[in-house]
Structure 1
């Protein structure tokens, strides 16, 4: 395996809906890694699941609400939430709290294109319906319901 250093200042940023900022750090391979900053109460992702990967959420600062199956848990700075393959999940900044976190998908799936599409949708340059046929490609399978 080749060692790699990713400088945050060189990372591509995407701003999806709700004022969040996604910093795209590593795309695919052993892990896909993103840093997300969510304003107070902002959604990070609607309910979905990954079939091929485990997802980890490590909270750097603030508080994050995570839907794990049918249970909503709050994780705060220093906490780690682990989502196994197939488990429906979603996440958002806790009400009245911002959240700064690392999201790690392992093994990695090339998903920078997914985050770029979210940015285009947020800017009105694309439509949500155009992302749905690409769920398998990005291993992001949306589930029914809100939370």
Structure 2
């Protein structure tokens, strides 16, 4: 939901824009301005966004339920309900529901950049309605810069 930064933004239950994924759903709460915020629910063991980093924004994850596995640079961290992760600009990361668990997480990016189009495209990709390659030219627009991190759930070998 876009808002005028001179007023408070209030999003009542049921007012958020939604985007369904094959393995979960987004509630798109706020877009642009000081923050972009969404709530993401993931099915058992499902991946979240593809491996990426942000050049401009910090990204905050607050786990509302379940356990999320994060790959933060070369480190793996499992974070359960009530846990908080703040990722600085430039740090490659990827996340998903831990094996055998569902997950529910609030995600906030600051400063906010209009990203609803990105989330809607991710939903279309998850349903086979668009190709992942369609996001590649949009990396700068959405400040989502993709990383090549294969088998991200395994600790990197040294």
Smaller-chain TM-score range? over 0.9
Could you list the runs of 4 or more consecutive aligned residues of structure 1 that deviate by over 4 angstroms after TM superposition? none
CA distance, structure 1, for counterparts of residue 43 and residue 128 of structure 2: 21
Indicate which of 10, 18, 27 corresponds to 2:15.
10
CA distance, structure 2, for counterparts of residue 47 and residue 8 of structure 1: 30
Give the match for residue 40 of structure 2. 36
Structure 1 residue 10: deviation in Å? 1.2
* Count of residues in Structure 1 that have an aligned counterpart in Structure 2: 146
Give the match for residue 120 of structure 1. 124
Question: Which one has a larger percent helix, Structure 1 or Structure 2?
Answer: 1
**Does the 8 Å CA contact 1:47/1:89 hold for their aligned counterparts?**
yes
CA distance, structure 2, for counterparts of residue 124 and residue 40 of structure 1: 20
Structure 2: runs of 5+ lacking an equivalent:
1-5, 153-158
| TM-score, normalised relative to structure 1 | 0.95
**Does the 8 Å CA contact 1:135/1:142 hold for their aligned counterparts?**
yes
Q: Higher Cα Rg: structure 1 or 2?
A: 2
| TM-score, normalised relative to structure 2 | 0.89
CA distance, structure 2, for counterparts of residue 48 and residue 32 of structure 1: 17
Structure 1: runs of 5+ lacking an equivalent:
none
CA distance, structure 1, for counterparts of residue 146 and residue 21 of structure 2: 17
Q: Deviations over 1:64-99 (max 9, x none)?
A: 011111101011111100100000000100111111
Structure 1 residue 124: deviation in Å? 2.3
